[in-house]
Amino acid sequence: MARVPVDPLRLDQQLCFALYAASRAVTRAYGPLLEPLGLTYPQYLVLLVLFEGEPRSVRELGEALGLDSGTLTPLLKRLEASGLVKRKRDAEDERVVRVSLTRKAMALHETLQDVPRQMVCKFGGDPERPGDLADIARLREALHALTRRLEPPPG
């Protein structure tokens, strides 16, 4: 069991770079699926949040995605320009903007159903094989755990 000293700054030793590279690779892999639908990857994520419940305030979307208004406001304006979301000031509290889906977006929901399965294939897995799905689930949980440790809730 020889202990070989390793340069701690070597790129291929960095978890951060592995994450950075994998994240960009996955985002790129979504491109061919989303671009024909007129969606970017972050826009797709916003729709996923809204599919789970509407309407959502900009703050709620930001909490779900870890993005701030500086990123979300222009992104939402583009989604609005695409006819996929509506933005409306809350009458009760004029500070908040409630974002909801259009009919067009709800129709997109059907089209998007197949996207995750296609992505599993791109990941090199078989969507029919439980083992492959379990591998993905394990990796996903490890990443969520890492994110939680880096961003402790404001408790």
Interface residues with a second copy (CB under 8 A)?
A: 8-30, 41, 45, 48-49, 51-52, 64-66, 109, 112-113, 115-117, 119, 122-124, 136, 139-144, 146-147, 149-151
Angle between helices 103-112 and 41-51 (to 10 degrees): 100
Give the integer Cα–Cα distance in Å for 101 and 49. 11
Whole-number Å distance between alpha carbons of 121 and 31: 15
Is residue 59 involved in binding DNA (CB under 7 A)? yes
Tell me if residue 20 falls in helix, strand or coil.
helix
Residue 17: contacted member of DNA, a second copy, none (CB under 5 to 8 Å, by partner type): a second copy
Residues contributing to the site for DNA (CB under 7 A): 20, 24, 27-28, 31, 40-43, 57-59, 62, 66-76, 78, 87, 92-97
